[in-house]
Structure 1
Amino acid sequence: MDSSTAKLPIREKIGYGLGDVASNFVFHSVNVLLLFYYTDVFGISAAAAGTLFVVARVWDAINDPLMGAIADRTNTRWGKYRPYLLWLAIPFGICGYLAFANPQLSGDGKLIYAYITYFLLMTIYTAINVPYSALMGVMTPSSVERTSLASYRFVGAFSGQLLIGMAALPLVKKLGAGDMATGFKYTMALFSVVAVVLFMITFATTRERIAPRHEEPGSVSIGKDLLFLCKNRPWVIMVIAAILTLSNAAIRWAVTPHFFKYHVGDDGSTAFWFLDRTSLMMTTGSLAFIAGIFFTGILSRRFGKRNSLIGLTILNALTLLAFYFIPPSAYGTMLVVNAIGCLIAGPTPALVWAIYTDVVEYGEWRFGRSTPGLAFSVATLAQQLGIAIGGGTAGWLLHFYGFQANQQQSESAISGLRILFSLLPGALALLNGIVLLWYPLTDAMVKKIEDELAVRRRDAAPDPV
């Protein structure tokens, strides 16, 4: 498939984007709601929950690269990566439901249950999301089309997050009829079913087009593949950036319900339409984020992917820092500043994942080895490590500042919530922008790599019979 004729049909781009809607119906619910569910509903301490989020990543350090290597070595009539969307959609939905199922257990039993279900969910998430991410790299050889595909993906991702922010807590309230534990259980059952259906649609509507180079079984080990990745400087920089990005996002996600419940004053009553203050903040932020995604192509063409990502990251960091200075009575100002920050940040995920495909192709061009599954799996590991650092930090610092669930908070706890919601995420985002200054691949170099790889692939293709 020549890069000049590698344009994907809209139907396929939409189908691919639905995969991230599916993922976020469960995964974003975990990111935004699980710490709150553990502390205020299930009855686990913030410190214990924070430790759980970090300990789970020890397994991810093994599980993520292993899944990437397995996916790279998978061969079926459906391709290398697509089959996992079919095979694991139902297990993913089941594990998402179990994480919020709220069984009646003792204190120790609840903690054990939380460990088991969270480990299972993260394992299945890796097993389905790593192939899903790698799929983007084999659907088309065109960097421009991959940027477009990434935009569709993250319109899907943040549409899923919009629905979570808009509907999750109101559904918990409605379906639970005042019982939050029952509400969480039924809400996650609904979200899990939707996720399964959407993953099936993604499987049915996408295709793999870039055939792998033929290699003898066992000719290249996983260890050598990892060594090639470690020598890939652009990829290493993006992995560091991923850790910082998701650390700052995870801290903010984890404490958002706490911040509005205990600092701003959100008692769950309707603030607008059927939305409480927390849901309204997440909904308007998600809408702004989705709007921002549509500027991805314009910014990429005008400034290049690298420069756009650096500038947007630093500007978003400033909006996060600004939240520290907004008093709790100025809820309207919070809505505006949050929307501006989300609009600015909107193009960044699409730019990041388009850049990931560029650095994978750089690795193939530089070292003669294409390992999209492994590269994306370690990128996913970096993001999950960032989420673990962020989630763990949020839980530990809530405990450190004296947070007590469902009680009037001390001045120390309120101060801690403000730091966790603004200063700490903003500082991490600013550091991320600084790290990205070392990313070396310009769009001109990416185009050169793309053209040279197209020639290599054409020359390596078997002669038609």
Structure 2
Amino acid sequence: MTKANNLPGPLKIFHGLGAVAYGIKDNGFSVFLLIFYNQVMGLDAGLVGTVIMAALIFDALADPIIGELSDRTQSRWGRRLPWLYSAAIPVGIAWMLLWHPPALGHTGTLIWLFGTAVLARFLIAMCEIPSIALVPEITPDYDERTILMRYRLLFAWGGGLLILIAAYGVFFTGANGVSERSGYDGYSLTGALIMTGSVLISAFAQHRYVAKPSPAARPAHSLGQALFEMRETLSNRAFVILASAALFGLINQGMTFALSNYLFAYIWQFERMEFLYYALVLFGSVIIAFLSVPAVSKRYGKKGGAIRYAVVSLSVNLALYGCYIFDLVPGGKSNPLPLFIFGFAIFAYAAAIGMIILIKSMFADVVEASQAETGRRSEGLFFAGYFFTQKCAAGIGTFIAGMILTFSTFPEKAVVGQVDKAALDMFVMLYMFALLIIGIIGILILRHFPISRESHNERLRALNTSAESAS
């Protein structure tokens, strides 16, 4: 474990680089997958949303197993690196399959979507869970963990935005935009190459810092005992509260991104260049979050900072779409001013990203809280629990997005400017209602998270004293 406040700069950068693959996967699932299978493949949005939700939840059940196996992995390179080396190439292949369904008919295409979605996300989990589980191994420091998470989020969002800019600026420039099937050939191939490359480069570059023989293996247990230990670990009160709060925050994120192409194309009527500007606005949001998190965390702590970010993001989003409903947008509903929309979006997204950075850093702090109770360090299992939550949330968010489209009678093969205004208004109102209810529940749960800077540092002192006494 690297000493606190002494992390080498290259380690921070290359550790963060590994999250690029996750960002590209997240962008594809959140922004393009629903519209690809709905508008390009011609499947019902509600059915597509349901299948994506089922695939993500089914896949998420494997995450705790990956985390537990990662915690128990024995090698001369440590517990995490073997997973990164073995999954990097298969994840690129699975990504290509997801966007190239053969001619199977509606039912067959839904089955293909389910199978390839599960496979792609399972392989990403084999990369991401061991990678992020390195954070509490690398440093015990309360603030340094936040720094590592800042870099991971910077690269994850950077990877997602890189492919988003390429999508709007290179691959989907035809008359049909994101509804043009041929554009997904270049989009998927580019994503696959970057995903595989980023995981391998990150692993190779971190090798000199983290490749150490695994700690002594845990005693072999029966399957029943292993499952009991997993349940005991994941029953930690701080973890349950944090995972529950994260679930609702991530549902809102998943729903918003699944609907983003519909919102920007049909509500705000963006042209191609405005989609590119939107990608730059997102990147600006990432930078604002990256720069603001240290000060916010220092002043309010991780929990207080995350709650404040959540309130700001929810309020700004609701204000923007409230302006649409009450026709307060400059230019009106027929010709809305993009700068007005971008002004709201940059702060809403920056606050949402800041919240996610702090929540992920809080998950790292749960490791020692559990260790004090059980005597086991379970970094991989806890972050697997986080990804289980995230996948469930993404699936539920996409399902809700599909239901919003269905209940607002949003048409398939819709043409910008020709969708019934009553359907658009209902679409926005249902989106706002879901955003408000889900967001408030998440904030109320997060208020009960018990770990602060002071309690974390006190716990570290107690664990260190216990370790010294035992040696």
- The answer to whether the superposition gives a TM-score over 0.5 is yes
Q: How many residues align?
A: 453
Contact 2:56/2:394 (CA < 8 Å) preserved in 1? no
Q: Structure 2 CA distance, aligned partners of 1:247 and 1:2? A: 35
- Correspondence 1:218 to 2:218: no
Q: 1:412 deviation in Å?
A: 4.5
Map of 1:54 onto structure 2 = 53
| Residue of structure 2 equivalent to 1:377 | 384
User: Structure 1 pair 457/213, CA: closer, same or farther in 2 (3 Å)?
Assistant: farther
> For the residues of structure 2 that align with 1:284 and 1:260, how far apart are their CA atoms?
13
How far has the Cα of 1:104 moved from its partner? 3.5
When residues 68 and 96 of structure 1 are mapped into structure 2, their CA distance, relative to the original with a 3 A threshold, is same
TM-aligned CA deviation for residue 393 of structure 1 = 1.0
Deviations 1:376-405 (A, max 9, x none): 111110111111110011112211221212
Corresponding residue for 2:312? 315
Cα deviation per residue 1:146-201 (whole Å; 9 max; x = unaligned)? 11111111111121232233222222225999782111121110111011111011
Partner of 2:262: 258
Q: Which stretch shows the higher mean deviation, 170-179 or 245-254?
A: 170-179
1:456–1:141 Cα change, 3 Å: farther
Percent of aligned pairs with the same amino acid:
25
Contact kept? 2:98, 2:116, Cα under 8 Å = yes
Distance 1:155 1:51 in 2: 30
In structure 2, the partner of 1:435 is 445
Verify: 1:346 aligned to 2:353, yes or no: yes
Pair 1:80–1:293, CA change in 2 (3 A): same
Query: Structure 1 residues 57-66 or 440-449, which shifts more?
Result: 57-66
Aligned to 1:37: 36
Matches of residues 276-315 of structure 1 in structure 2 within 5 Å? 277-315=274-312
- CA displacement at 1:214 relative to structure 2: 4.9
How far is the alpha carbon of 1:71 from its aligned partner? 1.1
AA matched with 2:315: L
Residue equivalent to 1:124: 123
Which residue type is aligned with residue 377 of structure 1? A
Kept in 2, the 8 Å contact 1:255–1:420? The answer is no
CA distance in 2, matches of 1:74, 1:126: 16
Aligned-partner SS, 2:133: helix
Corresponding residue number in structure 1 for 2:329: none
C-alpha spacing 1:108/1:231, structure 2 compared with 1 (3 Å): closer
Contact 2:56 2:117 (C-alpha < 8 Å) held by counterparts: no
Task: Report Cα offsets for 1:390-447 as digits up to 9, x if no partner.
Answer: 0011112211221212233334431243135544224322322221111111110011
Query: How far off is 1:27 after superposition?
Result: 2.7
Secondary structure, aligned partner of 1:406 = coil
> Which amino acid is 2:440 matched to?
L
- Counterpart of 1:146? 145
Using a 3 Å threshold, how does the CA distance of structure 1 residues 103 and 416 change in structure 2: closer, same or farther?
Answer: farther
Shift of 1:211: 5.9
What pairs up with 1:47-446 in 2 under 5 angstroms? 47-174=46-173, 180-206=180-206, 207-208=209-210, 212=215, 214-218=217-221, 221-266=225-270, 269-270=271-272, 275=273, 277-327=274-324, 328=333, 329-407=336-414, 408-419=418-429, 421-446=431-456
Letter in 2 for 1:314: V
Stretch moving more, 117-126 or 233-242: 117-126
Contact preservation (8 Å) 1:402, 1:410: no
Q: Do 2:61 and 2:388's aligned partners in 1 also have CA atoms closer than 8 Å?
A: no
Deviation at 1:125, TM superposition (A): 2.1
